[in-house]
Amino acid sequence: MKKILISITILLLLYTSTLPVNIQANPQIIIKNEKLIDFIKNQKFKLFKTNSPKTSSFNPVDIELKDDAFHGSNSLNFAEWWYFDAMLDKNYSAQMTIYVFGVFTKKYIISEANIYKNGINVLSRQKYFIFNELDLSKETPNIKIDGQQLMKGYIDEITGLWIYDVKLNFTDASLDLQFIGKSKGWKGILSIGGWACILPKAEVKGKIRLNDIEYNVEGEGYHDHNWDMTLFDLLHFGWYWGKVNSDNMTIIWFMILNTRFISDNLCVISKDDGEYVNIDSEDIDFNAKNYDFDYIWLIPKSFILRVDTKNIYFSILMNTETIDSDFKVNGHYWRYHINYSGNIIINDDMEFISGIQIVEFMRFR
């Protein structure tokens, strides 16, 4: 108990030492880019970085469809998963994951779906497939269980667009959504296995069913794939992950916490025209702040993501709308709906962005 109180005291002291900053610009004020850049240079501030110093770099490369197929692992135990989420109309949002776990020579699957209304969880379901017939292609993104298809990814022969059909069925609910890629994907190796951001931004359309009511929905979504994560990776503290969209790009970050204060920092800008830009870890500042208790856990309620390089600057403030927490076998998980806003400058072109997106915080210990 004494150790817990000391830890809480240290966290509170560090939190209160954070300097207050106002990084949310007024979009109604028109400022010349040169003046804004000068202003930014004069507004350097010291953040309490929850993930500093940085320990490694990330080097994304182009992907092919096979990269999103089942990878498997040479390890006696591993986890691999396909993640999808979507911000939909009618104030709905959805998150879906298909997990594959390997234990010795056996494999089993868990399908998971969460549906939100105004950021509040209205449905959370999991289905376990342990003794079922599993069809996991190593050539294409194709997952079948007992002949029923959960996920299929393919490239449209006419448009060249990457398309994913995802169908998850539960007793009292179902999701049947199609993701059509709007930006180019990429992949890289992390300290916790492989990661491919397949669809940084996608058009989404389809149906969700809650009890006996079916809704036609459409919106904007995201899809990535992680593989070859083993039990040894649970020695990490956890991670922060999230993304924000503008009209013509998506900013994706992944802060892998080796300890509570030392992390691998990743941030990639995916443009809708197909180009993607990797940010060096030394240029990434990520600040989790405004801590509060969730049961016995002390968790942040807002975040600041800031990048300042020669040609790229952005400062994005993210405030919590809602939090959905979930105890898992390997740790504890929080899924945030955040309200974000900020400025982006790329090659002297300035853009103000705002919106609502999903962010997550996972901790193993």
Q: Label each residue of the chain as H, E or C.
A: CHHHHHHHHHHHHHHHCCCCCCCCCCCCCCCCHHHHHHHHHCCCCCCCCCCCCECCCCCCEECCHHHHCCCCCCCCEEEEEEEEEEEECCCEEEEEEEEEEEECCEEEEEEEEEEEECCEEEEEEEEEECCCCEEECCCCCEEEECCEEEEEEEECCCCCCEEEEEEEEECCEEEEEEEEECCCCEEEEECCEEEEEEEEEEEEEEEEEECCEEEEEEEEEEEEEEEEECHHHHHCCEEEEEEEECCCEEEEEEEEECCCCCEEEEEEEEECCCCEEECCHHHEEEEEECCEEECCEEECCEEEEEEECCCEEEEEEEEEEEEEEEEECCEEEEEEEEEEEEEEEECCEEEEEEEEEEEEEEECC
Q: Are residues 10 and 25 in the same domain?
A: yes
Q: Are residues 215 and 167 in the same domain?
A: yes
Q: Are residues 85 and 211 in the same domain?
A: yes
Q: Are residues 28 and 159 in the same domain?
A: no
Residues 275, 200 contacting (CB under 8 angstroms)? no
* Amino acid letter, residue 251: I
Residue 128: the pLDDT is 94
Q: Are residues 264 and 341 in the same domain?
A: yes
Residue 183: the pLDDT is 96
Q: Give residue 322's Cα distance to chain centre.
A: 16
pLDDT at 237 over 50: yes
pLDDT at 33 over 60: no
What is the model's pTM? 0.85
Higher per-residue pLDDT: 110 or 34: 110
Q: Which residues face 180 on adjacent strands? A: 163, 203
Residue 342: the pLDDT is 96
pLDDT at 30 over 90: no
Tokens of 19: 């300097």
Residues 243, 252 contacting (CB under 8 angstroms)? yes
Short-list 145, 131, 124, 176, CA closest to 70:
145
pLDDT at 106 over 60: yes
Tokens of 197: 């951001």
Q: Are residues 277 and 172 in the same domain?
A: no
Higher per-residue pLDDT: 147 or 12: 147
Residue 330: the pLDDT is 60
pLDDT at 11 over 50: no
pLDDT at 16 over 60: no
Residues 88, 204 contacting (CB under 8 angstroms)? yes
Average pLDDT over residues 180-208: 96
Looking at 214, 235, 256, which one is the last position of a domain? 235
Average pLDDT over residues 78-82: 96
**For the chain, what percent of residues have pLDDT higher than 70?**
84
pLDDT for 305-350, tens place per residue? 999 998 999 999 999 999 999 876 567 999 999 999 999 999 888 9
* Amino acid letter, residue 47: L
CATH number at residue 42: 2.40.370.10
Q: Are residues 191 and 159 in the same domain?
A: yes
Q: Which residues face 218 on adjacent strands? A: 205
Higher per-residue pLDDT: 245 or 16: 245
pLDDT at 145 over 80: yes
Average pLDDT over residues 82-91: 97
Q: Are residues 258 and 321 in the same domain?
A: yes
Pick from 9-23, 68-82, 116-130, 166-180: least confident: 9-23
Q: Are residues 131 and 213 in the same domain?
A: yes
Residue 46: the pLDDT is 32
Q: Are residues 103 and 193 in the same domain?
A: yes
- Is 130 exposed, middle or buried (CB count within 10 Å of its CB: 0-12, 13-18, 19+)? exposed
Whether residue 53 is preceded by a cis peptide bond, meaning omega within 30 degrees of 0, is yes
| Mean pLDDT over the full length of the chain | 85
Range of the domain at 162: 63-235
pLDDT at 12 over 50: no
Number of structural domains the chain divides into? 2
Looking at 235, 265, 280, which one is the last position of a domain? 235
Residue 129: the pLDDT is 94
Short-list 105, 270, 296, CA closest to 201:
270
Looking at 184, 210, 235, which one is the last position of a domain? 235
Cα–Cα distances (Å) from 203 to 54, 93, 97, 306, in that order, read: 34, 13, 18, 27
Q: Are residues 70 and 209 in the same domain?
A: yes
Pick from 1-10, 125-134, 146-155, 249-258: least confident: 1-10
Short-list 128, 108, 111, CA closest to 168:
111
CA Rg value for the chain: 21
**For the chain, what percent of residues have pLDDT higher than 90?**
72
Q: Are residues 31 and 76 in the same domain?
A: no
Residue 40: the pLDDT is 46
